[in-house]
Every structure is written in structure tokens, then in C-alpha cells.
Amino acid sequence: MKLIFEKSIKDRDGYSLPGDLFKEIKIEDCLPEYAISKKKKLLSEVSEVDVVRHFTKLSKLNYGLDDGFYPLGSCTMKYNPKINEKLASLNNFTYAHPLAPEETVQGSLEIIYDLNKLLCEITAMDEYTMAPAAGAHGELTGNLIMRKYFVDRGDKRHKMLIPDSAHGTNPASAAMADFQVVEVKSNERGTVDLTELARLMDKDTVGLMLTNPNTVGLYDEGIKNIEKIVHHKGGLLYYDGANLNASLGIIRPGDAGFDVVHLNLHKTFSTPHGGGGPGAGVIGVKKDLIPYLPTPIVAFDSTHKKYYLLDLGSKSIGMVRAFWSNFPVLIKTYVWILSMGPDGLYNASETSIINANYVLAKLKKYYKPAYDRYCGHECTVTGKEYKKYGVKTLDIAKRLMDYGMHPPTIYFPHFEPYAEETIMVEPPESESKEMLDKFIEIMIKISNEAKTNPELLTTAPHNTPIRRTNDLVAAKRPILTYDDELKLKDELKYKDKNIDF
């Protein structure tokens, strides 16, 4: 498909502004000569009609959640309710300036305050910061909180324990907090090896970052012992909330002894992913850690009946972003929780766990589970049986596209000997039994194809907007802009990037 630049026609307009209302003022009287650009910066010149058709066409090259099954493991691609979008886009919210006087934004502050209370109850934590913009941002914030907590105590801990099954963001976040990452091996049941944990957990160790259920979709049954081992050595327990969708109303991280929790509101709490954000990675902490949260938090002044931004003072790790939060994501979360209620939240986790185990039960004859036990809200199976036919997990995933489905997460997690050629399926509560049956039927069909006609898989997909991409070329000789492409084509007519005034 053409790029917007290739549709550009000189002098075409896609925008209207009031005419020059300040003809008497000359730009030279406002700005110093050294600052003014001598040339106009070239964007594109297209009409509103061109733009609308261009982006409508682009959108049709995407596959969204509303198009069908989207079982990405550890991503919780659940339905995004439409009422949430509407209520998050009310003018009084969307036009509110972040530095407007507090008395003009009492509604926004009330939502943040109330949501904090709800999240605290759902996870058994004492206070949340809404600042982090994404899961990894929350992880960084959480790590910085733990770091400051120990620094203030004159405790020079510098190691962070992270299971081999953890998301890549965990070690990367810990490294950003300048912690030395120590990997904890998983046992044959796919969970943290307690002996190994006890050996590694020492007085130099900040604590453990844990996802529960973990990234292979398995609950850590030893959670109580894990908690004891970490706390006994004075460490802190960090909960990666990527998989909270298996826990609503069933188990609360705070009750299990976690000290710091991050939640991906764009996963468990139904807000859309937007093709890679914006989400929100809010962080909840236990009482002792509240002073270390990023400043400010929203508080309520009961004397004057007013919400306000409370500066947390010198113990706070400081700010992790400009302003306060990804606010519309918070509204959507708030609305979702209220629309579900306690029974709805429990139902969500219960259904997603049943869904995942149903898929596992039906598929395990064809794709071996990485671990033979019941799973949480996602199941991990492997495609390694098909290697002998020359078929990789990647090929199975691509073949699924031909049947109109988004593939599950593949090649994650990856650690030997259990997790190889992995296929991680997460069918959230918003997927019906009929949809799962359809998926199971297709997966079985693909397993037969792998044996009888492997080429069908290795050359898949066949009927998507584009086919397999040459990623090596992209990395070796990066074309990162349209101008790179033009330079490469050595288009002489495009010698000058600028137009003269």
C-alpha cells in the first residue's frame, strides 16, 4: 500500500485555520533571526478525504480483538467494553489541563481516589500510584521504590532474584535500578525451585520478582514458602501483575505476602491495548512503602470535602513521568470494575481458568503440554513434536492466520528442557466455548497438515494482506523513514528535502 507521502499533491489542504488574524504582526518582530527556519518543513499535502481513505484502508490491514479470537498468552486480550470508551471521552475529562486549579478537576481526582480504594481491596494492598504508563514502567517504579527503601535503611542490597520463566521486562527493569540480576531456575513442575531460592536469597538480595500464575500459566503452589524465605532474609516480594486475570476474587497478592504489586490495567482490567499502548502499569504497595511512591498521590481532605494532590516529600523516589497518570485508562478501569462487581470479577477469573484448562485438555493429545498439570488462565504447550516433519512452532502460528485467527504467543517463555517451541494460549473470559471449539478444531487440523503437507505450513500464511517478511534485511540495512527509502532508490528528483518560503 502507498505511503501518505506518495499520495501528496502540491497545494492540497487537509485542514482549515482561521485566516491570519494578526496581519499587523510580523514574524521577524516576534522571533530572533537565529531561531527562524528559513525553509518550510515538508510533511505531506493531502486532503481530508485522502486522509480518511488512507487510514481506513490502513486499519483494514490490522487484525483487532473485535475481529475475532486473539489468544496471546500473558497479554490478556479480553473484550474492551464500548461504554468504557464513551465515558472516558467525556469533554469534562478530555479537555482538563493537568495543571488546572484543583477545584476545577474534583471529578477527575475523585475517580483516581476511588479507583485506588477499589484496587487496594482487589489486591489487598494499602496504596497505589497511578503514575506508571505501562507494565515495564511500573516495574521500574517498583524497583526504584524497593531500592530507596533499603538505601534509607542503610542496607546495601544489590541483587534481585528473577525466575527463568519471567518476562524479559523483569530483568531489564531490575537492571535499570542498577540491581544485579540473579536467575532462579524453575523445577520440573514449572515453578520456583525452593531449595534454589533458599540458597540464593541472602542479605545482599533485595528480593524476588514473581509472576503468579507464572508465565507458563502455572500457579506457584509454594507461594507461602517463597514468602517465608524472602521475608526471613529481610527481602521484599514483588508481584508482576501481568497474569492477575487468574486471581480476581480467588487469591490476593497482598494476602500472599507481596509487598509491591504492579497491575497492567490494559490486561486484566479490560482497557484496550491500542496496538502497543497506551496502557497503565499502576503500582500498589504495603503501608511501609507508601512514603516511597512517586509523588504526588491523590488524597481527600475530609474537613473541606476536597480531593487534592499530596506531595509525598523527600522519601518519595520522585516523579517517573510528567503529570499524573494515563487518566482515560483509569476511567475505563473504574467503569469496568463497577460493571463487574465482586461476582463478575470472580466469574471473569473462574471462566478464564476453565477456558484455558479446556483448551489444554482438548489439545494435549496433539500438542504436548510443557508441564502435565492443570493450568491457570493460560496454558503452555509445545510444537516440538512436529520438528521431525520440518515444521516449527512459528509455522503453526502463521498457518493459524490462514484460518482467520490471531496466533497465540510463541517462543515465550523459552528455557530448557521444558519450554521449547512453546505455544502459549490465553483464552480470556470473553471467549465463548464455541470459539474455543473452533480454535481447537483448527489446531487439530493444522497438526494433521503438519504431518501430511508440511509445506502448507512452512509457506504460510497464504491469505493475509502480506506474507512472511524478511526481517534480517530490515535489521542489516535499516530503512527507518521514507527518506531512507528514497535515498536508497537514489531518486534525484528528491534532492532537496525542503521547499523555499
Site string for other proteins, 314-353 (x = CB under 8 A): ---xxxxxxxxxxxxx-x---x-xxxxxxxxxxxx-xx-x
| Cα distance between residue 176 and residue 145, in whole Å | 12
Residue 112 three-state SS: helix
Question: Any idea which residue has 481516589 for its cell?
Answer: 113
Report the nearest approach of other proteins to the CB of residue 287 (Å): 18
Window 183 to 202, contacts with other proteins (CB under 8 A): none
Report the nearest approach of other proteins to the CB of residue 121 (Å): 5
Number of residues near other proteins (by CB under 8 A): 204
Helix (H) or strand (E) holding 50: helix 48-59
What is the per-residue burial (b if ≥16 Cβ within 10 Å, else e) of 199-234? Answer: ebbeeebbbbbbbbbbbbbbbbebbeebbebbeebb
Nearer Cβ to other proteins (332/386): 332
Site string for other proteins, 260-279 (x = CB under 8 A): ----x-x---x-xxxxxxxx
357 binds other proteins (CB under 8 A): yes
102 binds other proteins (CB under 8 A): no
Window 122 to 151, contacts with other proteins (CB under 8 A): 122, 133-137, 139-140, 144, 147-148
Report the nearest approach of other proteins to the CB of residue 271 (Å): 10
474 binds other proteins (CB under 8 A): yes
Question: Any idea which residue has 503452589 for its cell?
Answer: 221
Type of residue found at 75: C
310 binds other proteins (CB under 8 A): no
Q: Taking Cα atoms as reference points, which of 373, 370, 382, 375 lies closest to residue 356? A: 375
390: left (phi over 0), alpha (psi -120 to 50) or beta: left
Report the nearest approach of other proteins to the CB of residue 433 (Å): 5
Nearer Cβ to other proteins (18/417): 18
Q: Residue 63 corresponds to which cell in the numbers above?
A: 487484525
Nearer Cβ to other proteins (288/323): 323
Compute how many other C-beta atoms are within 10 angstroms of the C-beta atom of residue 450: 25
Nearer Cβ to other proteins (197/360): 360
52 binds other proteins (CB under 8 A): yes
479 binds other proteins (CB under 8 A): yes
In 326-420, alpha helices (H): 327-363, 393-402
283 binds other proteins (CB under 8 A): no
Among 69, 73, 105, 366, binds other proteins (CB under 8 A): 105
Nearer Cβ to other proteins (36/451): 36
Site string for other proteins, 439-458 (x = CB under 8 A): --------------------
169 binds other proteins (CB under 8 A): yes
Report the nearest approach of other proteins to the CB of residue 231 (Å): 15
Nearer Cβ to other proteins (180/448): 180
Nearer Cβ to other proteins (205/430): 430
Residues 6+ apart with CB under 8 A from 386: 392, 396, 447, 450, 451, 454
Q: Taking Cα atoms as reference points, which of 253, 259, 291 lies closest to residue 121? A: 253
Residues 6+ apart with CB under 8 A from 264: 76, 134, 135, 138, 241, 242, 244, 279, 280, 281
390 binds other proteins (CB under 8 A): no
Residue 445 three-state SS: helix
Window 59 to 88, contacts with other proteins (CB under 8 A): 59-67, 70, 72, 75, 77-81, 83, 85-87
Q: Residue 493 corresponds to which cell in the numbers above?
A: 528528483
Count the residues in the chain. 501
Nearer Cβ to other proteins (22/493): 22
Sign of the alpha-carbon dihedral angle for 241, 242, 248, 250: negative
* Cis amide leading into 328 (omega within 30): no
Select from 103-111, 197-205, 379-387, 441-449 the region that touches other proteins (CB under 8 A). 103-111
154 binds other proteins (CB under 8 A): no
Among 154, 478, 489, 496, binds other proteins (CB under 8 A): 478
